Structure 1
Amino acid sequence: MNIFGLFERRVGEALDRLAAAGKIPAGIDTSKVLVEPPRDASHGDLATNAAMAVAKAAKTNPRQLAELIAEDLRTDPRVSEASVAGPGFINMSLHPHVLHDVVRAALLDTAGFGRSGQGAGAAVNVEYVSANPTGPMHVGHGRGAVFGDALANLLAFAGYKVTREYYVNDAGAQVDVLARSAFLRYREALGDAIGEIPEGLYPGDYLVPVGQALAERHGPALRDLPEAEWLPVVRAAAIEAMMALIRDDLASLDIRHDVFFSERSLTKGEVDKIGETIEELRARGLVYEGRLPPPKGQLPDDWEDREQTLFRATAFGDDVDRPLLKSDGSYTYFAADIAYHRSKFERGFATMIDVWGADHGGYVKRMQAAVQAVSGGRAELDVKLCQLVKLLRGGEPVKMSKRAGDFVTLREVVDEVGRDPVRFMMLYRKNDAPLDFDLAKVLEQSKDNPVFYVQYAHARCASVFRQAGEAFPGRVPALEELATADLSLLADEAELELQRRIAQYPRIVEAAAQAHEPHRIAFYLYDLSSVFHGLWNKGKDLPQLRFVKHDDERSTRARLALLGALKAVLASGLGTLGVSAPDEMR
């Protein structure tokens, strides 16, 4: 039950009646009309910008129009008051039974409350992580992994058909470097003295088991072969081992993908998909042979003034056209990425979301141009950039990992603090803002630790139900039965405010899904928990507000109904973030 959506439609009906009465023109655009919580809670339960959003098109004074809309809203049996403020805002107060209906809706459908049909089953491809398969995942990868997974959960909850995808970069120079690094460990496993790991190769100990496995499988047979013969064998084995390692790292965060798409498959099948894509774009006049102007500032060492095969990225809003072939005739990474996103479109995805590290920000415009080109303007790409994570312990930077060689692995962090703190804290900051992740602070049991604060709210709700079971043995009803409780007994302002916050959940879900911003759920859960903890503390001083009253079963049932709805929302929101909702805290 989304009361904000209900009243957006109700405001639209008021505008339709005004148009039918000839007071405003018919058919005006109402897409910018919003119904949301007022900035000041003392102003009521809902606020709308309707008059200001349509006044220009209606050719009328916004405040005068607001008075007409408010007059219509006052006839609604759910509205106790509708008043005009400022230049034309309309504030509404609702009769308590509207909030009671929200509580009942949450009790009658604990798993589905807040679920939306917004997506209407539309297919969405969310590609996230896509780390090069050259080693274990680091903490920075973890932020994109958690963000992408939570976004996929959120979109599914909002009614989209979501495919979770990982693009395996198993072609190109970096996997050849991986193979040479693994071959060195293979020789080591055979007993060769390899000395220091040469510069340019991967030094981490994580490749030792790969070398040992190669030695067990092949014995010394690979050692004396020319590189051209052992390289593909070692490369395939190393990639397989690294992807197994990455999958295991992701599983520690309960992250799993539906599709692992191989970059090599674009050129190693029966059809060269990259070449085919280039020729298709050429036939449409979007690929040509030409020269690029020199980049501004000091020229890079590898810049060449030569005729190149170029994609007309500028036709789709990019700054310059982009090369598709290197000087040696091989494809650029961009060419492969165009073919890959063409594959997504051919698989039925008109909405694509890519989650990248912030260091790829300069790549966004060209990829959005490419998606526009390969789809004929029928698909859109939204790129979400995740900023860096600074790993701290008690405010001090954490030292590098011995296992990885030059970074702290994601698995080390998960093993130390647990899945829930990692997931919640990765989302308790907007994705494009830098994140300080303090290993000591995320284990504190205090209000300053958001994940503890929210989980503690859920555990406190569960503890109240246990207390009620002890006070009224065998007489604590199921949540569905609590929907019949007398909710008019919840008359204290703190109880009403908690009901208002619960009512916001469906709106938060839709807004977060539309903006592709799962952090909004984390922020909402913290604010919701804060209101609940405030009510809990108020009950310590005012016995009449305590949740379990041994001498008053009616009020106990009413408060259990409120906490049952709260508990359902907390569990739903935490579940969307991929965080557990414990009934007890350790």
Structure 2
Amino acid sequence: MSETKTLYAAFAARIDAVLAALEAEGALPPDTSRGNVSVEPPRDPSHGDLATNAAMVLAKAAKTNPRNLAEKIVEHLARDPLIESADIAGPGFINLRLAPKVWIDEIGAIAALGAQYGRSDMGAGNRVNVEYVSANPTGPMHMGHCRGAVVGDALSSLLEFAGHDVTREYYVNDAGGQVDTLARSVHLRYREALGEDIGTIPEGLYPGQYLVPVGKAAADEFGDRFAAEPESEWLALFRALAVERMMELIRSDLALLGIQHDVFASEAALQAAGKPEAAEEWLRQHDLVYDGVLEAPKGKAPPEDWEAVELPLFRSTKFGDDQDRPIRKSDGKWTYFGADLAYHMQKAEKADSLIDVWGADHAGTVKRIKAAVAALSEGQGTVMPFDVKLVQMVQLLRNGEPAKMSKRSGNFVTIADMVEEVGRDVVRFSMLTRKPEAQMDFDFSKVIETSKENPVFYVQYAHARICSILRKSTEEGISASSDALEKLGEDDLALIKQAAQFPREVEAAARAREPHRIAFYLYDLAATFHAFWNLGNDDPLKRFIVTQDPAMSAARLFLATQIGQVLRNGLALLGVEAVEEL
């Protein structure tokens, strides 16, 4: 597998070599820690291409002031032929301007690596389990699931690109009361399929039309065998049939978004295998579960039917929770937390780290599940890295007004509805245009606008423009070539500099577990490209095809080709097609 060593990492190594030389000269003490030395683009591009804080963080160890140490560092850097200038700013920051050759070489690296440009080995094969969506199998996927589905899928792709070994997992909640309700709803539709007038759907059952074909399938399979039988005779059968059909529907809905999971883990199978009992036994052995009585609800008088009941409680207060949490109910059944605890224990058996993508409504359970995973993994010899990404809900609008509900679903807008109306690419990219923890609006009218304010269009338009340039050049018999890249000027190099950020952005986004950073980066790259394109409207010499200068045309076409490649690589991480025409 090929990967890109980021340009910034390469120059960090050069600066590290300078610091090693200063150690050899006695200007720095031997074995001085350089862990806090950073090399990154300055906030203001007018200050240069790179900035380092080396003198600021090492001056104390060198027993000198930062500017004096900076002068010694700059003296060494000035000998580097790839560094055009090194200037000291403020109390001791060092700003670097790189030689044009650096950027010319980088555009060549993009061409050489192609679809692999930006790929990293940072993850070193670390096994990461990313669990996302995990909707109850009670109906079609709706907008409450969409954002988390896209975030989880893009995060998985990002981590893979950054060198991790990723397992995409879906937890099927097929052991709770909601699944029994689903089975009863299907049984009602089953009777309907047999010709019975079922009237209005009773309160508490699922009313959506999506259950009609499931009821018909039950009628085809069972005939009228269970039409008048008591629930005890058919509930388990109908539950299994309903879950199977709902999971087929969910897989189909996710496929509309280009999402596929590697593993579908069943809660019912987990319980049948005795995983919760095993987790409880281990926790009791380590005094992390005890039998105790929950406190009465705080802040108000307890309900009349509330009574003190002894339950097995997990010592989550030991890990920062505000109270210990029950892992079983009074009837002996597992609480959601108890089953979830065992599920995470199961995931941890085949992973080096875990990531859960949850809806923001689960925020209250984060602390306790993290505590449980910490306790269980510590018992296996190490505390497993575990991250929970909370995703806020999306408000659906149409021309600024709340969007109407789907007739098929009964009371919500489905993913199928959305994809049919605006397309998969628009849905996916839009879900990544804000941080997942921030609220967002999805306006059906605005997401298909052809304007700069619509980031989906703006990024795809940049790629389509590049494809248009290349088609036109072919018609005119002009080919892209790297032979005269030295003819490129400052405006051209600014475009290369923006493209060269991609490998660094990949690593930063993967490290932070934030795939939306790639969407932000692509918008910035598209903006830089469109700005360069607009220069040609006023100055013909700034166009990609300069009729009177074939060598410059060939160089600019080569540049455009590589910018298109970076756009494709970034869009691929988001699961969005790089369209050739709009």
Residues in 1 aligned to 2:140 and 2:31: alpha-carbon distance in whole angstroms: 57
SS of the equivalent of 1:111 reads: helix
Cα drift, residue 299 of structure 1:
5.4
Check if 1:339 corresponds to 2:342.
yes
Q: 1:277 to 1:140 in 2, by over 3 A?
A: same
Is contact 2:283-2:289 (8 Å) kept? yes
State the partner residue of 1:500: 497
Check if 1:308 corresponds to 2:311.
yes
State the partner residue of 2:407: 402
SS of the equivalent of 1:23 reads: coil
Give the 5 Å matches for 1:101-500.
101-269=105-273, 272-298=274-300, 301=303, 304-347=307-350, 349-376=351-378, 377-472=382-477, 476=479, 482=481, 484-491=482-489, 493-500=490-497
TM-score in terms of structure 1 length: 0.95
Q: 1:101 to 1:374 in 2, by over 3 A?
A: same
Is contact 2:462-2:526 (8 Å) kept? yes
Residues in 1 aligned to 2:324 and 2:73: alpha-carbon distance in whole angstroms: 52
Residues in 2 aligned to 1:426 and 1:94: alpha-carbon distance in whole angstroms: 37
SS of the equivalent of 2:441 reads: strand
Is contact 1:131-1:141 (8 Å) kept? yes
Residues in 2 aligned to 1:25 and 1:300: alpha-carbon distance in whole angstroms: 66
Check if 1:523 corresponds to 2:487.
no
Q: 1:567 to 1:48 in 2, by over 3 A?
A: same
Gap runs ≥5 in structure 1:
none
Residues in 1 aligned to 2:69 and 2:326: alpha-carbon distance in whole angstroms: 55
For 1:341, the aligned partner's letter is H
| Paired-residue identity, % | 57
CA deviation digits over 1:307-343, x for unaligned, max 9? 3211122333333222111111111111111111111
Residues in 2 aligned to 1:296 and 1:497: alpha-carbon distance in whole angstroms: 60
Residues in 2 aligned to 1:299 and 1:112: alpha-carbon distance in whole angstroms: 62
Residues in 2 aligned to 1:537 and 1:557: alpha-carbon distance in whole angstroms: 19
CA deviation digits over 1:6-53, x for unaligned, max 9? 122222222222233332333343333222211111111111223334
Q: 1:133 to 1:60 in 2, by over 3 A?
A: farther
Is contact 1:471-1:550 (8 Å) kept? no
State the partner residue of 1:88: 92
CA deviation digits over 1:481-532, x for unaligned, max 9? x3x32211111x3212111101111000000000000000000000100010
What is the count of residue pairs matched by the alignment? 574
Is contact 1:263-1:336 (8 Å) kept? yes
Is contact 1:102-1:503 (8 Å) kept? yes
Residues in 2 aligned to 1:3 and 1:205: alpha-carbon distance in whole angstroms: 55
For 1:334, the aligned partner's letter is F
Match of 1:567 among 557, 561, 564: 564
Cα drift, residue 300 of structure 1:
6.0
SS of the equivalent of 1:164 reads: strand
Check if 1:68 corresponds to 2:72.
yes
Residues in 2 aligned to 1:125 and 1:57: alpha-carbon distance in whole angstroms: 42
Residues in 2 aligned to 1:291 and 1:59: alpha-carbon distance in whole angstroms: 61
For 2:483, the aligned partner's letter is A
SS of the equivalent of 1:570 reads: helix
SS of the equivalent of 1:220 reads: coil
Q: Indicate the RMSD between aligned Cα atoms, in angstroms.
A: 1.6
CA deviation digits over 1:159-218, x for unaligned, max 9? 111110000000011101111111111111112222221111111111111111111111
Is contact 1:417-1:439 (8 Å) kept? yes
